[in-house]
């Protein structure tokens, strides 16, 4: 009989120190916030240890370039956070894409209508503690400093999107409700990246922590790949592995870089 703890926290295996096929047959896809980065009070308050930058750079080399970021952040944010690295990346849930490090950027989604952004701005301005993050093709309402507003935020953003932005859809995340171009998700982003060198023909391995990452977890599984869910998460997930927190992710990356 399954015990209560098992029902609360689905069993996933600890992430192996070295995925089978590393480094020649693996492509590594990394989420940022809550995975490589500790969560912080606001989007601009995150930081990454220099040794993690060094480990990622070494992994890029060992993987023949087959390491990409898949994130809800903008590409400008990704490059700022990971400087001086310029990695392949699917940013804004895939609405901004860079297939090769330092290569051309492809835009896959239009910004939401200005009247939506304006309406969200007015909503946020009237409620201390909320914050609007305008990322271009995607916009987010953060409620980390006023978690009691979660229901109100979700309801209002959903209503405004339904009314004003038919080409966009909701993406809930950690203390945030995002609006992203319809059809742009981390699963389709992974598929797009996997179509080209240096990813094509490799087995995707994804690390992520949030609901948005489930799209990438499922896409990776369809290629025979795998995923690791970061954090003590009690919801069902397509990830078969787990790691306790971003610090463990950073340790794992450092060890893998030298494996
Ligand atoms: O896909 P990710 O790389 O995980 O990015 C998801 C969102 O991350 C950021 O918001 C989250 O992290 C913030 C800093 O730790 C935190 O304050 C916020 O509560 C989290 O939701 C980012 O601001 C968003 O644009 C990303 O979509």
Query: How many angstroms separate the alpha carbon of residue 46 from the centre of ligand 1?
Result: 9
ipTM over 0.85? The verdict is yes
Residue 41 CA: nearest ligand 1 atom is 17
pTM: 0.94
Terminal-to-terminal C-alpha distance of the chain: 39
Tell me which of 33, 146, 189 to substitute to probe ligand 1's pocket, judged by most ligand atoms within 8 Å of the beta carbon. Answer: 33
Structure tokens at 179: 């609006």
What stretch(es) of the chain map to CATH 3.30.70.1020? 114-181
Ligand 1 atom having least distance to the Cα of 210? 4
Render pLDDT for 134-188 as a digit per residue (tens, 0 to 9).
999 999 999 999 999 999 999 999 999 999 999 999 999 999 999 999 999 999 9
Among residues 202, 198, 204, 200, the alpha carbon closest in space to that of 186 is found at: 204
Catalytic status, residue 31 = yes
Topology at the third CATH level for domain 114-181: Alpha-Beta Plaits (3.30.70)
Atom index in ligand 1 nearest the CA of residue 72 equals 27
Helix (H, G, I), strand (E, B) or coil at 64: coil
- Class in CATH terms, 13-108+184-257: alpha beta
Which residues in the chain are classed under CATH 3.40.50.1000?
Answer: 13-108+184-257
């Amino acid at each position: 009989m399954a015990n209560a703890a098992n029902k609360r926290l689905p069993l996933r295996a600890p992430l192996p120190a070295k995925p089978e096929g590393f480094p020649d047959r693996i492509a590594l896809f990394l989420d940022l916030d809550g995975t490589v980065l500790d969560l912080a009070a606001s989007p601009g308050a995150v930081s990454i240890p220099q040794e993690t930058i060094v480990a990622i750079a070494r992994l890029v080399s060992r993987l023949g370039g087959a390491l990409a970021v898949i994130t809800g952040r903008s590409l400008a944010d990704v490059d700022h956070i990971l400087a001086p690295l310029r990695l392949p990346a699917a940013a804004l849930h895939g609405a901004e894409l860079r297939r090769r490090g330092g290569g051309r950027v492809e835009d896959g989604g239009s910004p939401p209508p200005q009247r939506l952004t304006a309406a969200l701005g007015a909503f946020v301005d009237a409620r201390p503690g909320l914050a609007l993050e305008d990322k271009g093709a995607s916009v987010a309402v953060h409620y980390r400093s006023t978690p009691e507003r979660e229901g109100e935020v979700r309801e209002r953003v959903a209503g405004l999107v339904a009314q004003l932005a038919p080409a966009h859809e909701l993406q809930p995340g950690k203390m945030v409700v995002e609006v992203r171009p319809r059809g742009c998700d981390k699963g389709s982003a992974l598929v797009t990246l996997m179509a080209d060198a240096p990813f094509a023909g490799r087995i995707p391995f994804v690390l992520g922590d949030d609901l948005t990452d489930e799209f990438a977890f499922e896409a990776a599984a369809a290629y025979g790949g795998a995923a690791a869910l970061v954090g003590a998460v009690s919801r069902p997930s397509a990830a078969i592995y787990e790691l306790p927190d971003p610090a463990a992710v950073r340790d794992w990356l450092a060890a893998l870089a030298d494996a």
